[in-house]
Amino acid sequence: MVLPDSINSFLKKIINISFPSTNFLPEEEQYVSPNFIEEANMKIVEGEEEKFAPVKVKSTSDEVKFEAFLDGIQRTVLWRRIPLPNGAIVPIHLAHIAAGVIIRSRDGKLFVDKDLIASRVLILGPFYGINLAGSKVALPSSVLSDTSLKTFDLPTDKSDEWMICDTTFKGTNIDRESQKKDALIGNLLFNEGLVRSRAQARVSTLRHRLEFAILAKFRSKYPESWILVDGPLYFIDKWRKNAGEIFKKILGRSNNDFEEKLLYKAVGVIKSHRLRPKRPDLVIKIGPNERSLVSRLIFEVDIKGKHREDDEVGYYGGAHLTWYTRLRCNLSPPYGLTGLIRLDVHRSTFGIKIIDALSPKNFNKYLPIVDGITKGVWRERWPSFRKGYDFKMASEPYPIHQVEEVLKSMLMSRRLLASFQFS
């Protein structure tokens, strides 16, 4: 890999003041997110809250047929450790992220559109805090930063664009003064778990932005196609202004209404359940051909790091509708969490302008599309399921797995990342 001179110089500076981590296991493989841990402001819009029992999915003429599938992946490794004058030994991470879409042709075959795949390489560390502690690692001004508007855009060369991420502060706002309360400076640099958690959360945030850049490109080419997305459609309101500057050029809309076009006919599939439903005891009883009642969700809960360290959280720009169902499960109870998924749909897909007016009394007209989306997702499950063996296969749509395999082939291996040297 040929590196830009500025990246070469920066990596050389880090290597000169650090030592290798010798840790080849990716960070995301060292932690399994727990289930049903995050409370959120949810309001049931389909039925009565005290009767939050599974309901049968009905046949409908509105059954959705997905024509595209989007996924993003990340591989994050602890690359080097920098010893500081105060005694702290601070981890520096490298990460490779990629996002892409697979299209389904009219004859049912899946193919890759080369214009709808992109990747970036990230260098992550609390560099401002490291400099304050006395080890000088000045950031090059000519390299893409995680505070740039361009993080919402596709890489200029479509692949392996380098980015430097200062994880001293939470989030990617360019105004750092308001974030000094949680800054990784002084004694907090001794907290390796916190440093690593924030790096992993930042990678997740930037990977999701890359996914949305791909989604915007897809929507500009296929404005009416249904697309199944791995993960939540978590576009939060505080990103609206910055993202609008980028997406309005791609989507041809003003920066005030781009979200309605971006997330239209997109369905997110969430497999790891941070969002605690109203009645988790009833949700885990969802069986074949069933789903939960539909709820309104206005707050993002799914983008976290290790140990519940958040990086970018906030309210959605427009409320979402969400419900649980199951891709695959045992033939008889108990079903537990096997194959349980949550579907996330933006209000624009239903043609809803003002979601606050929704209630169990007027939601009936949207039930055909709810059931149509649910049945459409069921059609994408694996052809067979090895009962009691492969939990991932039970909850992952087959085409999403194919996108993941394509993207994995693009990433640097974990060993290469962990032992990366400047050229």
Concatenate the DSSP letters of all residues of 354-396 into one string: -GGG--TTT-GGGHHHHHHHHHHHHTTS-S---TTT-HHHHHS
Residues 267, 226: Cα–Cα separation, whole Å? 8
Contact, 137 vs 14, CB < 8 A?
yes
Residues 328, 368: Cα–Cα separation, whole Å? 22
User: Which of 15-24, 163-172, 304-313 has the highest mean predicted lDDT (pLDDT)?
Assistant: 163-172
Residues 374, 327: Cα–Cα separation, whole Å? 9
pTM of the model: 0.92
Work out the mean pLDDT of the chain and round it to a whole number: 87
pLDDT digits (tens, 9 = 90+) for 45-99: 897 766 678 999 998 888 899 999 999 999 999 999 999 999 999 999 999 999 9
Q: Which residue has the tokens 């690359």?
A: 79
* Confidence label for 298 from pLDDT (cuts 50, 70 and 90): confident
Write the CB contacts of 75 (distance below 8 Å, at least 6 apart in sequence): 26, 28, 95, 96, 97, 411, 412, 414, 417
Residues 238, 170: Cα–Cα separation, whole Å? 14
**Does the pLDDT of residue 333 top 90, yes or no?**
no
Query: Which structure tokens are listed for 410?
Result: 């693009």
* Confidence label for 304 from pLDDT (cuts 50, 70 and 90): low
Write the CB contacts of 262 (distance below 8 Å, at least 6 apart in sequence): 212, 215, 216, 219, 235, 247, 251
**Strands annotated E in 152-254:** 161-166, 227-230
pLDDT digits (tens, 9 = 90+) for 86-136: 999 999 999 999 999 999 999 999 999 999 999 999 999 999 999 999 988
Write the CB contacts of 150 (distance below 8 Å, at least 6 apart in sequence): 144, 246
